[in-house]
Structure 1
Amino acid sequence: MIMRAMGGFRVETRWLSAGLASAALLFAAPMPIQAQEVTLKAAVFVPPTTTYGIPFKRFVDRVNETGKGVLQIRIVGGPEAVPANNQADAVKSGVLDIASIPPAYYKSNMVEGDAQILSDMTVAEQRASGAYAMLNKIANDRMNAVYLTTYGMGVPFHLYLTKDATVAKPDDLKGLRLRGQPNYNAIFKQYNIASVNIAAPEVFTALERGVVQGYGWPLWGINDFGWDKLTKVRVDPGFYNVVVNILMNKASYDKLSPAQRKVIDDAVAWFEADTLTYTAENTKATLDAQEKQGIKTVNFGPEFKKVAVQLYWDDLKKLSPDSIAKLQSLLIKK
């Protein structure tokens, strides 16, 4: 063993060399790189501050609050930024990472999505039955998209009339001209209602001028356009469900790190639990507001809802018999 005297100290050169080498390796080794925060681009089919945009913003706010430094979502806007009819394709191509959009807007790509509006289950029950997994798989395959979550379940569609006429039963609707949309077609045809296609921003003027005597619209949101001021009657019971799906580009979802995916998954779990309370509270507030506005109600009885739902199942089965039949068994309580 070679030893040298250094100012009265004896130094073992082998250990000195080893120590210097270790120090060199320590400082030469790359330091751990912290994953950069990822920002996802999102759009919503209506302005984010309107009735059906607000729940999506609540979801985004939750992600941004819990995902600081890890994952954020930036809402680029509503239909003024990306037209609602193009948002599903924008998710498919990766132009958008996320879109909040009803299945009616991508029905040409995935008719099975519309089956969800006929369900009598919560989103949690749809997950437990396997329905949600089936819808997600179809979205994966056809739209390069992941079904993150859904809101609107439990919010029914209604018919609204602007004249306080004597309407006591479905047959009294015969001959009326109502503003419609595709998912009303079957029930309008059943009761000989004339469906008039009018863009939502133009409906107020059409109602005011008597071009139409009413409209089909969900329970929530008639105040967004001021229609409540011209509405005299709401037909009960409501039928179908509002369904707004939060879709994410599959490639964008797959490349998230475990920590980033956890932010999304945790936000989904929070959102689905919180939405139950939010929906109940907002529904009560809406009913109270419509009553205060002087909107009367006429109840056609449970058969009206039953007929509406069955007619739409029948229409969907014509378009995709096997898949819709299977989804019906998974989306309806036994």
Structure 2
Amino acid sequence: MKKFTKTVISATILAAAAASATPALAKNVLLKTPIAFGSHLPALGTPIVWVADQLKLVSDGSLKMKVYEPGKLVSPKEILGAVSSGKVNSGYATAGYWQGKMPAAALFSAVPFGPEAGEYMAWMYYGNGLKLYQEMYDSNGYNVKVIPCAIISPETSGWFKKPIEKPEDLKGLNMRFFGLGASVMEKLGVSTTQLPGGEIFGALEKGAIDASEFSQPAIDQRLGFQKIVKYNYFPGWHQQATIFELLVNKDTWGKMSKGQQAIVENTCKASMTNAIAEGEAMQFPVMQKAKESGVEIRYWNDEMLNTFRSAWDEVAAEKSAADPFFKKVWDDMSEFRKGYDLWESNAFLPRTR
């Protein structure tokens, strides 16, 4: 009997030890996610809604995301701080919003004369982009996990009230402009401001600004720019592709199982594909409709494009000299792009217009 009892006790101890060594089943996770762009805006706000739907489906309900429209929980410009502090456990925005705190952040959002979507993703996933992206947040003390979660192809270059034929035509304009492109425009005599999308129409209508860029034609159309300004310029030299990020509080991220983490990362990667496909599919009908309502779609002449490019080269050099991490990221991206040029120049058909 004693031998039997001893055996039972030993078995119980071993079973308890084995149970303690086995990871507990992951608990359900709810990501409360304020967003920087209204979910009604196609390819800009819709991707994160798609992600929320897919997370619940793919995880069989162990991962859920509740999306909060801009300003409902925190304002767009407060998303990074709120996620880092744990006020919310996730957020959706674009890194360019944080360039005032971290100059290099703009390079993870959109780059003038920079990579198109395919090249951008190649650098991000198979170059050093993603590693540098996380390093930026870590080195600045932000308690966040960053995950690229959507990407769109080129934006329009801006809406103007009058034709812009030469660099001098830009001088003295007040214009809404985003990211690194704003620094380029300022070099050319433009006064820039970064208004949120919902305030641009009113500013144009009241004359507070003379011109604006915001996003792609299908998105700009939703905001009604074509009702006030009739000259829409292309190509979007300032944003050939734009990346959007999902930020997750690191404490929340650390409590998730490896499987849950993989679901979030891979759903966001799938969203990159879905977002660019959505954006590419909807632009041309909107552009055709705009032309029919009196909008002039114009392509920058060579003088203007060369002027923008020269000003950007100056901006990149100045920002690299002023901030070591900006230089680190810019140099790495530039080196990757030099290599990519060998592939791009040989593999793709030349552009014709």
Shorter-chain TM-score range: 0.7 to 0.9
C-alpha distance in structure 1 between counterparts of 2:153 and 2:312, whole Å = 14
Distance apart, 1:114 and its partner CA: 0.5
Count of residue pairs the alignment pairs up: 315
Residue in structure 1 matched with residue 317 of structure 2 by the alignment: 314
2:238 to 237, 240, 265: 240
TM-score (norm 1): 0.80
Counterpart residue number, 1:37: 28
After superposition, the Cα gap between the structure-2 partners of 1:146 and 1:290, relative to the gap in structure 1 and judged at 3 Å, is farther
1:86 aligns with: 78
Question: Is the 2:34–2:72 Cα contact (8 Å) retained in structure 1?
Answer: no
Q: Determine whether 1:113 maps to 2:144.
A: no
Which of 329, 337, 340 in structure 2 is aligned with 1:327?
A: 329
Assess if the C-alpha contact under 8 Å between 1:157 and 1:218 holds in 2.
yes
Q: What's the C-alpha RMSD, in Å, of the aligned pairs?
A: 3.3
Give the drift of 1:304. Answer: 4.3
Show CA shifts across 1:281-323 (max 9, x none).
2444443443344321232234245235324423532441x32
Q: Which residue of 2 aligns with 1:297?
A: 297
3-state DSSP of counterpart to 2:245: strand
- Pairing partner for 1:47 from 12, 33, 38: 38
Name 2:88's counterpart in structure 1.
96
Deviation at 1:74, TM superposition (A): 1.4
More strand by share: 1
**Structure 2 partner of 1:149:** 148
Percent of counterpart pairs with the same letter?
A: 16
> 2 CA distance for matches of 1:225 and 1:66?
34
C-alpha separation between the residues in 1 aligned to 2:315 and 2:223? 27
Aligned partners of 2:176 and 2:209 also within 8 Å:
yes
Q: Distance in 2 between matches of 1:36 and 1:99?
A: 21
Deviations 1:132-189 (A, max 9, x none): 2111122133211122114334233512113xx4432332223333334564442333
Structure showing the higher helix proportion among its residues? 2
Equivalent runs, 1:202-281 vs 2, <5 Å: 202-220=199-217, 221-241=219-239, 242-281=242-281
How far did 1:201 drift? Answer: 3.6
- Unpaired segments of 5 or more residues in structure 1? 1-12
5 Å-filtered alignment, 1:117-132, equals: 117-118=110-111, 119-120=114-115, 121-132=119-130
**Cα gap change, 1:114/1:73 in structure 2, threshold over 3 Å: closer, same or farther?**
same
CA separation of 1:53 and 1:37: change in aligned 2, threshold 3 A: same
Structure 2 residue identity aligned to 1:62: Q
Larger deviation, residues 285-294 vs 248-257: 285-294
